[in-house]
Amino acid sequence: MPSIPNARVLIVATDGFEEWELFGPREILQRRGAEVVLASLKLDPIQATVHDDPGKTIRPDLTIDQANADDFDALILPGGVRNPDQLRLHGNVIALIRAFAERGKPIGAICHGPWLLVEADLIRGKTVTSWPSIRTDLRNAGGNVVDQAAVTNGNIVTSRNPDDVEAFTSALIDLVQSRPEISKIRHPHEIPA
């Protein structure tokens, strides 16, 4: 997998995220040189699940309200049942997802994560995949649902489950690399020359 040293990737999650669907892409992207930032509803540590059992915790770097799509090159929405189900009730989360979409920036959603794409009305006319139990929701939102490890349609990558993390992250990296402006973005932490 190629490196993406100039990329900044935002992960949005809250309690109940599926552990490997956050930690897996995060580790892969960091190994490839990307800066990965985690945003949540609050700055308190959030609790993963491994299927239905409690998993690791992780402390967010910033809140959703502090996150700005202009500061990042891509967005990742992990699954888990409770995580996206809670997040889709927050207008600021949906507004942030739409901001990434409006800018044509890559958005990756895995497992139950595509629920957030449904809430943001980004599924209509797209070919997508997900965890089997939400595929009817995706169809009802106008999506063409397929059963593949990773599906890219426009600026959106969707995936089915934790076993697909490598294919999912690889597809997202491909999308980030296809955007020539990534290497030209000046990030807030950079000092002007």
Catalytic (active-site) positions: 112
How far apart, in whole angstroms, are the C-alpha atoms of residue 84 and residue 107? 14
How far apart, in whole angstroms, are the C-alpha atoms of residue 53 and residue 43? 22
Nearest CA to 93 among 135, 128, 60?
60
SS3 108: strand
How far apart, in whole angstroms, are the C-alpha atoms of residue 9 and residue 179? 14
C-alpha neighbours within 13 Å on the C-beta side of residue 139: 9
Pairing of strands 150-153, 156-159: antiparallel
How far apart, in whole angstroms, are the C-alpha atoms of residue 97 and residue 69? 8
